[in-house]
């Protein structure tokens, strides 16, 4: 047994992980370490790469989860040398890394940096990239295992995929693996998503395609599964007999200044509901899988999405809005149409809300309200399960006038944790019941800080662990759910309803839930 093969274990199709050879493979307490491999980033000069990808790679190395010979290759049109690229990575790490900077870790990691200059339609550049990858296999021991991260606009996917195929970079030989990582958006409707999936799958088989939804890498999203299936306390009441409705919210307090090129014409529904919120719904509503293997987990998610349907009529059960200027956080901010680069007549929505139901025995009749928006009251993402009122309250009305409905709220960001709301007696001689909360926070319950989502997801790519990545059928089914809403809004006479910055959306969103006797939570 050579040093390059000691402790090698299989981690999914074609994946190579590295563990202690004396460790019981069933013991999940110890982390799995990526085997020999490299990562090529296209779009390495962009914000995502600088703020998320490069820092995540350093943090993985700092935690000892990357192999000693790990290689990072940047591909861009900039006229950089290897030292220039190293300086860019260094600045990104120092500015955005989660873990403390250690010079010895950096020095070891930087030995594997390479840069290839070129454009996406440049055959010579991709030939140089192929040669660089082969050289890394020889001098760094990457073993022919490479992932290609397409941090680029979807319009560039076809040419890059064709270049990867033409240059032989996508070819897999024996136990070697090649994988591609795709950032959202996965198309802009069902037709384009099917076309995009076809382009990618012509070059990479589906089990080698990893579609990044960074929300699925967050600890609290995964904690939904632990909360439900590891605790007998919740699962018996996680159904329509006890649950009144579910609210899934992703709110941001920032505007869209500087993002006109990406966001205008896309809007909040395509940007967030089609991927993030429908995936959160799937985790919330899915049945218990036989195991947490990728196949079993995906199967249950797909069942939920196949059972999910829009509640109509769309003009009453959905809402869209566009923020106007106003005061937010003590600052006077501009409306979308005053932001640089936006058409004064833009019909792009910055707030979107829809109503869906999951037609299964567990959830029949329970509305799921999904909402997202920019320039809202605060930055927060949460899943709120609101329970039905007790069927009989042996109290006078005055005893429970401040009593609401029981709720279990999973806070995905920024203050990760879980809150329970229930009624409790107010101290004193009178029988008075008032809502109280019981709170669990990751920051106070655990000594170790949660990894960034991209740390988990990049490591899963290198390990070949696909559980947290949507497959073709999930992406296409999500568009099937959302497309009727987009089409109805496009054909409507009016545009999005205005709402002032710092509020919680347009008044039509309140009417949307009020029609069934509900109100939005104020996170």
Per-residue pLDDT tens for 278-309? 999 999 999 999 987 888 888 999 999 999 99
Q: What is the pLDDT of residues 469-514, one digit of tens each?
A: 888 999 999 999 999 999 999 999 889 999 999 999 999 999 999 9
CA-based nearest residue to 200, from 459, 454, 460, 472? 472
What is the band of 13 on the pLDDT scale with cuts at 50, 70, 90? very low
Does residue 85 sit in the same domain as residue 167? yes
pTM of the entire predicted model: 0.86
Indicate if 392 belongs to the active site: no
The answer to the question of residue 140 being in a domain is: yes
The answer to the question of residue 96 being in a domain is: yes
- What pLDDT is recorded for position 18? 39
More confident residue, 521 or 17: 521
CA-based nearest residue to 270, from 154, 380, 348? 348
CA-based nearest residue to 209, from 168, 148, 153, 166? 148
Give the side-chain half-sphere CA count within 13 A for 309.
9
Does residue 125 sit in the same domain as residue 238? no
Is the peptide bond preceding residue 313 cis, with omega within 30 degrees of 0?
yes
DSSP states along 327-364? EETTEEE--GGGSTT--TT----SEEEEEEEE-STTTT
HEC letters along 231-298: CCCCHHHCCCCCEEEEEEEEECCCCCCCCHHHHCCCHHHHHHHHHHHHHHHHHHHCCCCCCCCHHHHH
Beta bridge partner(s), residue 353: 319, 371
d(CA 254, CA 264): 16
Does residue 172 sit in the same domain as residue 240? no
Does residue 477 sit in the same domain as residue 340? yes
Residue 25 has pLDDT above 80, yes or no: no
Does residue 297 sit in the same domain as residue 246? yes
Q: Are 164 and 209 contacting, i.e. CB atoms less than 8 angstroms apart?
A: no
Does residue 87 sit in the same domain as residue 225? no
Does residue 226 sit in the same domain as residue 166? no
Split into its structural domains, the chain has a count of 2
The parent domain of residue 315 ranges over: 216-392+470-514
The CATH number covering residue 117 comes to 3.40.50.720
Number of helices (H) and strands (E) in the chain: give both, helices first: 17, 21
Q: Checking DSSP bridges between strand 407-413 and strand 497-500, what pairing results, if any?
A: unpaired
d(CA 319, CA 512): 7
d(CA 18, CA 65): 9
Q: What is the pLDDT of residues 224-247, one digit of tens each?
A: 888 888 888 898 999 999 999 999
The CATH number covering residue 243 comes to 3.30.360.10
Is the peptide bond preceding residue 105 cis, with omega within 30 degrees of 0?
no
More confident residue, 174 or 502: 502
- What pLDDT is recorded for position 370? 98
d(CA 55, CA 299): 33
β strands within 123-208, DSSP E: 146-150, 178-183
Catalytic member of 188, 214, 245, 276: 276
Q: Are 72 and 88 contacting, i.e. CB atoms less than 8 angstroms apart?
A: no
Q: Are 455 and 284 contacting, i.e. CB atoms less than 8 angstroms apart?
A: no
Does residue 151 sit in the same domain as residue 20? yes
Sequence-separated (6 or more) residues with CB below 8 Å from residue 255: 323, 333, 334, 336, 339, 374, 375, 501
Give the side-chain half-sphere CA count within 13 A for 485.
29
């Amino acid at each position: 047994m050579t040093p390059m093969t000691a402790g090698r274990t299989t981690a999914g199709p074609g994946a190579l992980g590295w563990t202690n050879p004396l460790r019981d493979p069933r013991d999940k307490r110890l982390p799995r370490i990526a085997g020999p491999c490299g990562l090529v980033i296209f779009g390495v000069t962009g914000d995502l790469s600088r703020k998320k990808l490069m820092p995540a790679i350093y943090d993985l190395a700092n935690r000892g989860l990357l192999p000693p010979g790990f290689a990072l290759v940047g591909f861009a049109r900039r006229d950089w040398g290897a030292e220039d690229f190293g300086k860019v990575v260094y600045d990104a790490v120092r500015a955005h890394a989660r873990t403390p900077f250690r010079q010895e870790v950096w020095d070891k990691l930087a030995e594997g940096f390479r840069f290839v200059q070129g454009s996406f339609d440049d055959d010579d550049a991709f030939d140089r990239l192929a040669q660089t990858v082969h050289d890394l296999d020889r001098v760094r021991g990457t073993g022919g295992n490479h992932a290609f991260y397409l941090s680029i606009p979807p319009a560039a996917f076809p040419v890059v995929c064709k270049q990867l195929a033409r240059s032989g970079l996508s070819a897999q030989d024996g136990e070697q693996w090649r994988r591609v990582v795709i950032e959202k958006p996965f198309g802009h409707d069902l037709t384009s998503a099917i076309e995009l999936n076809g382009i990618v799958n012509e070059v990479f088989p589906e089990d080698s395609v990893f579609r990044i939804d960074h929300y699925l890498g967050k600890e609290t999203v995964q904690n939904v599964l632990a909360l439900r299936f590891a605790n007998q306390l919740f699962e018996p009441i996680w159904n329509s007999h006890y649950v009144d409705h579910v609210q899934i919210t992703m709110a941001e307090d920032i505007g869209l200044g500087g993002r006109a090129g990406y966001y205008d014409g896309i809007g909040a529904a395509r940007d967030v509901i089609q991927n993030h919120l429908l995936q959160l719904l799937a985790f919330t509503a899915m049945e218990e899988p036989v195991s947490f293997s990728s196949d079993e987990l995906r199967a249950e998610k797909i069942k939920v999405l196949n059972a999910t349907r829009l509640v109509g009529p769309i003009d009453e059960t959905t809402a869209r809005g566009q923020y106007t200027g106003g005061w937010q956080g003590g600052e006077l901010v501009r409306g979308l149409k005053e932001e640089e680069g936006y058409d004064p007549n833009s019909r792009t929505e910055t707030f979107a809300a829809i109503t869906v139901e999951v037609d299964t025995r567990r959830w029949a009749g329970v509305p799921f309200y999904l909402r997202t928006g920019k320039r809202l009251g605060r930055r927060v993402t949460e899943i709120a399960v609101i329970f039905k009122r007790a069927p009989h309250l042996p109290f006078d009305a005055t005893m429970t006038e401040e009593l609401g409905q029981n709720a279990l709220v999973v806070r995905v960001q920024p203050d990760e944790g879980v809150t329970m709301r229930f009624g409790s007696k107010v101290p004193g001689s009178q029988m008075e019941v008032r809502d109280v909360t019981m709170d669990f926070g990751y920051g106070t319950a655990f000594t170790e800080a949660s990894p960034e989502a991209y740390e988990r997801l990049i490591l899963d790519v290198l390990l070949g662990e696909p559980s947290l990545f949507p497959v073709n059928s999930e992406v296409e089914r999500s568009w099937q759910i959302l497309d009727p809403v987009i089409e109805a809004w496009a054909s409507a006479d009016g545009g999005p309803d205005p709402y002032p910055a710092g509020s919680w959306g347009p008044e039509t969103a309140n009417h949307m839930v009020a029609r069934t006797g509900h109100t939005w939570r104020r996170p």
